[in-house]
Amino acid sequence: MSENPRIGQTASAPVHILPRLEWDMSEGQTLPADLGETWIPVTFLPEQSFDLQPSLPVLTLQLKLHLRDQTPPGELALDLFRLYTAVNRLELSQARAGLTPYDASCDLIPTGGTMRVSFTPIDPTGAAERLTTLAETINGTVNFDGFLGRPAWCITRCEAQVVGNGA
């Protein structure tokens, strides 16, 4: 392979201006004088307002989590992921589309504390019945570690309820 020192270099060259090309596609016919001009009447519509917010309340599954004393953040994060997985699988087992996280708040106190997390159903059809069933299942769980599939490091207890977040 040989190297050419001129490749990649630019140099000035003369400019060639090409002659103007005109195409006559009228085939000898006379063209209308207003060719290329359009006129369309403008109709002003009355102002309309509408609300894009859902008219029905958004139902959520709210979980109140009771935490161990001096909960390490990393272990709490892992427990929350496992909790979401378990609750979402429970929703999916009802042949539905699953849940998405909605909101979280934390009320930590020096000797343990509580944390609230909420989930909304992806499919709102029949959500009230499904979320009520999920809440009853979670509240009826005696062995919370078994619900998560393995021992929870930080969460000692979970209370579930269905909450409507206004329209």
Q: What is the pLDDT of residues 56-91, one digit of tens each?
A: 567 888 998 888 877 788 888 888 888 888 888 888
Which residues in the chain come in under a pLDDT of 50? 110, 166-167
pTM for the model stands at: 0.59
Backbone angles phi, psi at 146, to 5 degrees: -65, -30
Residues 125 and 157: their CA atoms lie apart, in Å, by 29
Task: Output the pLDDT for position 167.
Answer: 42
> Which three-class secondary structure string do you get for 30-89?
CCCCCCCCCCCCCCCCCCCCCCCCCCCCEEEEEEEEEECCCCCHHHHHHHHHHHHHHHHH
pLDDT at 110: 47
DSSP characters over 1-30: ----TTTT--------PPPP-----STTPP
Q: Does domain 58-165 have CATH number 3.30.70.100?
A: yes
